[in-house]
Amino acid sequence: MNAAQPSRSAAARAASTGWKANPIIYEINTWVWLNQLRRERNCEITLADVPAIEIDKLAAWRFDAVWLMGVWRRGPATRMSALNYVHEYRTALPDISEADVPGSAYAIHDYQVEEQLGGREGLAVFRARLRQRGIKLILDFVPNHVATDHRWIREHPEFFIRGAPEDLNAQPAQYFGAPSATGEEHVIAHGRDPYFPAWIDTAQLNAFQPGLREAMAETLIDIGSQCDGLRCDMAMLTTNAIFAQTWQGRAGEAPAREYWPEVISAARSVHPQMLFLAEVYWDLEHELLSQGFDYAYDKRMYDRVINRDVQGIKAHLRADPAYLNSNIRFIENHDEPRAMESLGEDRQKAAATLICTLPGAALLHQGQLEGRRIKLPVQINRAAGEPARPLLTRFYRRLLCEAAKPVYHDGSWRMLEPGPIQAADFTHGNLIAYSWRAADDGRIVVVNLTAEWSRAAIGLADWEHLAGGPYLLFDALNESYSHHSGDALLQAGLQLEVAPFGAHLFRFVSVLG
User: Which DSSP string corresponds to 232-270?
Assistant: ETTGGGGSHHHHHHHHTTTT-SPPSS-HHHHHHHHHHHH
Contact 321, 357 (CB under 8 A): no
> Rounded CA gap, 129 and 52, in Å?
9
In this prediction, residue 5 carries a pLDDT of: 46
Mean pLDDT value across the chain: 93
Reply yes or no on whether the pLDDT at 6 is more than 70.
no
> Rounded CA gap, 423 and 397, in Å?
38
> Rounded CA gap, 92 and 96, in Å?
9
Q: Give the C-alpha distances (Å, rounded to integers) separating 363 from 28, 119, 208, 241, 332.
A: 11, 26, 31, 28, 8
Residue 81 CA to its chain's centroid (Å):
27
Between helices 259-270 and 210-224, what is the axis angle to 10°? 40
Reply yes or no on whether the pLDDT at 58 is more than 60.
yes
3-state secondary structure of 186: strand
Reply yes or no on whether the pLDDT at 46 is more than 50.
yes
**Percentage with pLDDT > 70 across the chain:** 96
> Rounded CA gap, 69 and 298, in Å?
19
Q: Give tens-digit pLDDT for 116-172.
A: 999 999 999 999 999 999 999 999 999 999 999 999 999 999 999 999 999 999 999
Count each helix (H run) and each strand (E run) in the chain, helices first.
20, 23
- Where do runs of H (alpha helix) occur along 234-376? 240-247, 259-270, 285-290, 299-306, 310-316, 321-324, 339-342, 344-357
In this prediction, residue 96 carries a pLDDT of: 96
Reply yes or no on whether the pLDDT at 1 is more than 60.
no
> Rounded CA gap, 247 and 269, in Å?
31
Band of residue 469 on the pLDDT scale cut at 50, 70, 90: confident
Band of residue 468 on the pLDDT scale cut at 50, 70, 90: confident
Angle at 369 between CA 401 and CA 133, to 5 degrees: 50
In this prediction, residue 7 carries a pLDDT of: 52
Contact 269, 282 (CB under 8 A): no
- Residue 110: count of CB within 10 angstroms of its CB: 17
In this prediction, residue 115 carries a pLDDT of: 96
Rounded to the nearest 5°, which phi and psi values hold at 490? -65, -35
Nearest to 7 by CA among 307, 225, 327, 303: 327
In this prediction, residue 183 carries a pLDDT of: 75
Band of residue 173 on the pLDDT scale cut at 50, 70, 90: very high
Rounded to the nearest 5°, which phi and psi values hold at 38? -65, -45
Reply yes or no on whether the pLDDT at 9 is more than 60.
no
Please state the pTM of the whole predicted model: 0.95
What lies within 8 Å, CB to CB, of 300 at 6+ separation is 283, 285, 316
Amino acid at 301: M
Q: Residue length, the chain?
A: 513
Write the burial class of residue 360 (CB in 10 Å: 0-12 exposed, 13-18 middle, 19+ buried). buried
Nearest to 19 by CA among 263, 360, 445: 360
In this prediction, residue 354 carries a pLDDT of: 98
Q: Give the C-alpha distances (Å, rounded to integers) separating 259 from 40, 111, 144.
A: 44, 19, 11
Q: Give tens-digit pLDDT for 13-34.
A: 555 668 999 999 999 999 999 9
3-state secondary structure of 473: strand
H/E stretch holding 203: strand 202-204
Contact 275, 220 (CB under 8 A): no
| Terminal Cα distance for the chain, rounded | 60
